[in-house]
Amino acid sequence: MLPPAIARLSRVWFPSGGIAAAGAEDGHARLIRAGFLRPSHSGIFHMLPLGRRVQNKVEDLVASHMENFLAASRVSLSSISAQSLWEKSGRFENIASELFRFSDRKDVAYLLSPTHEEEITALVAGTVKSYKELPLRLFQVTRKYRDEFRPRHGLLRGREFIMKDLYTFDSSVESALETYGLVRQVYSKIFAEMKLPVLAAKASSGDMGGDLSHEYHLPSPLGEDRVISCGSCDYVANEEVANSVVADELAAGDELRVWRGVNRDRTKLINVWYPGQTRLIDGGEARQYVESDINIAAVKSVVPDLDAGVEDGLSLWSAALDAGTATELINVIDCRISSASSFPEDIIQDSSWPVALRSPEKASILEKKLDGHAPLNLLRIQTGDKCPACKSGHLKAEKAMELGHTFFLGTRYSEPLGALTSTPTSGQKAPMQMGCYGIGISRVVGAVAESLADQKGLNWPVAIAPYSCVIIGGKDATDQDLVEVYNHINNAGGTQIKHLDLALDDRQKPLPWKLTDADLVGYPIIVLLGREWLTSKRLEVQCRRLDVKKVVELADLPALISRLHVAL
């Protein structure tokens, strides 16, 4: 058998170093400048060789955990799904606007799948008949499509993306919940192996269905989600479902403030009343609140059809009022107001309302509904709020990027799509208990680029780096010198180091250019054959993330690389 070829960067095409940094860069801009990818269309990207190496490593790591720890079988489902299946599951109308849809020459309606619950359920429904064939665990890594209204942040919110899906089928709720718990453990292993500080947060199931769900978030200032965690216990939740102990009360003499929203069909005006300032019950400075502190998810729990994307709800509802289509006004009141002060008796006479809405002839339409007097916290949880789980702890609120999601679906899809199996007790047919579990492969690439980069460039964990260690020679180092170092690392046990992926930078470029490029690309470890190599066979080892810059003998090099790999 021939030995594996030496990985030489001169043999790999990646157009790095040719684009100057344009001021402050985000991770996506660095991915482009370092030659990992290029934009193709809005929200769609070409992965170049370096980007493909990172993507492959994420895929392989995740797939190995699916197979080795969950005994899941790998499938590859078509990206094309029948619209009729989505109509049968009852999900089509809710997300039709996000689907890429088309018809064939026979006018049969299809779509590009953003996810595969319908297809996998139909497949299993036509194949599995007995409980003796369960549990069944099937996974794939495939392209998905979503017609995002506003693609942004590169790979984090694209219209074409790579995902790992795991779908599980069990014969009982108890078995399905055991599967759910096992998958959660495996997810923790996956993110730990990538050395990513991921938070597993209780979450809403949304349009996916089911009543048990967790999201896996990487904290980042660029995150689109907000995760709440306790510093004293294991309480972690997405803001949409998080709770806190309301430890504030309305400050004496403080004014009430109102944010006005509208529902989707513009028939309801929703007044969200909240205090402009409160004081902490257990002492401390008064808190100031503004519109951005309103918890929209809490408002939607009272008014599910609230159009959260509208900023000026009053003007839209006023137009509907003039057209005779507006029918209702709803007041949603924060619990601090209802418990600490008297609410204004006649909001119709509030001077902040336009005259047209205060006129007597409109009074019958402006029906007064004070339904918000139940303890309803309409303000976003703030860092320092008390934990609802342990009472003694305090919460931390931070932005984060979602990398994965787990759902216990129950019979949400198996029942309407006829995925039935016999039961061991009665022999009667019953819907299978399902779960679905996703990890955004391309999103992991984008999130790591955003979160771990520094001023010099990208900074990959060794598990998913394009190459975990690059060997660079100074102007007097020969190719034979580079190969000697490369072989010494491997022959001294380097091949046994987990995730070690060596490469020689033998490109015909000046040394300063190569070092700058290496920092930009984000190799975890750099081995430099500089002046001391020529005089004493000593090498310089650099690891930017661990702030290591050390000169070592050739004999000590493999051991140092091994220690750095473990730490990275």
Tokens 């779960």 identify what position? 435
Omega cis (within 30) before 135: yes
**Per-position pLDDT tens, the chain of length 568:** 555 689 999 999 988 765 667 677 889 999 999 999 999 999 999 999 999 999 999 999 999 999 999 999 999 999 999 999 999 999 998 888 899 999 999 999 999 999 999 999 999 999 998 999 999 999 999 999 999 988 888 999 999 999 999 999 999 999 999 999 999 999 999 999 999 999 999 988 766 656 789 999 999 988 889 999 998 999 999 998 888 877 677 776 667 788 888 888 888 888 888 888 877 666 667 788 888 888 888 888 888 888 888 877 888 877 887 787 777 777 788 877 755 455 554 454 455 544 444 444 444 444 445 555 556 888 898 888 889 898 789 899 999 999 999 999 999 999 999 999 988 777 789 999 999 999 999 999 999 999 999 889 999 999 999 999 999 998 889 999 999 999 999 887 666 788 889 999 999 999 999 999 999 999 999 999 998 998 899 999 999 999 999 999 999 999 999 999 888 8
Task: Determine the Cα–Cα distance for residues 387 and 503; give it in Å rounded to an integer.
Answer: 49
User: How far, CA to CA in Å, does 194 sit from each of 3, 56, 275, 352?
Assistant: 29, 14, 44, 54
Task: Determine the Cα–Cα distance for residues 548 and 557; give it in Å rounded to an integer.
Answer: 14
Q: Which of 185, 21, 38, 156 is nearest to 519 (CA)?
A: 21
**196 close to 461: Cβ distance less than 8 angstroms:** yes
Read out DSSP for 153-204?
A: TGGGB-SEEEEEEEEEEESSHHHHHHHHHHHHHHHHHHHHHTT---EEEE--
Bridge partner list, 387: none
Q: In a 3-state reduction of DSSP, which class is residue 463? A: coil
Predicted local confidence at residue 315, as pLDDT = 83
Report all structural domains of the chain as residue ranges with CATH numbers, in order of start: 9-13+467-567 (3.40.50.800), 36-242+397-449 (3.30.930.10), 248-362 (no CATH)
User: Token pair for residue 367?
Assistant: 């029906």
Q: Which of 264, 276, 361, 259 is nearest to 317 (CA)?
A: 264
> Beta strand 469-473 with 287-288: parallel, antiparallel or unpaired?
unpaired
Which residues, other chains included, contact 394 with Cβ-Cβ below 8 Å and sequence gap of 6+? Answer: 230, 231, 232, 383, 384, 385, 386, 387
pTM for the whole structure: 0.87
> Beta strand 268-275 with 328-333: parallel, antiparallel or unpaired?
parallel
Q: Which of 25, 22, 55 is nearest to 456 (CA)?
A: 25
Task: Determine the Cα–Cα distance for residues 246 and 230; give it in Å rounded to an integer.
Answer: 15
Task: Determine the Cα–Cα distance for residues 539 and 558; give it in Å rounded to an integer.
Answer: 12
Predicted local confidence at residue 541, as pLDDT = 96
- Read off φ and ψ for residue 556, nearest 5 degrees: -90, -5
Task: Determine the Cα–Cα distance for residues 260 and 291; give it in Å rounded to an integer.
Answer: 10
Q: In a 3-state reduction of DSSP, which class is residue 122? A: helix
Q: In a 3-state reduction of DSSP, which class is residue 50? A: helix
557-567 and 479-491 are packed helices; what angle lies between their axes, rounded to 10 degrees? 70
Predicted local confidence at residue 519, as pLDDT = 94
Task: Determine the Cα–Cα distance for residues 500 and 496; give it in Å rounded to an integer.
Answer: 8
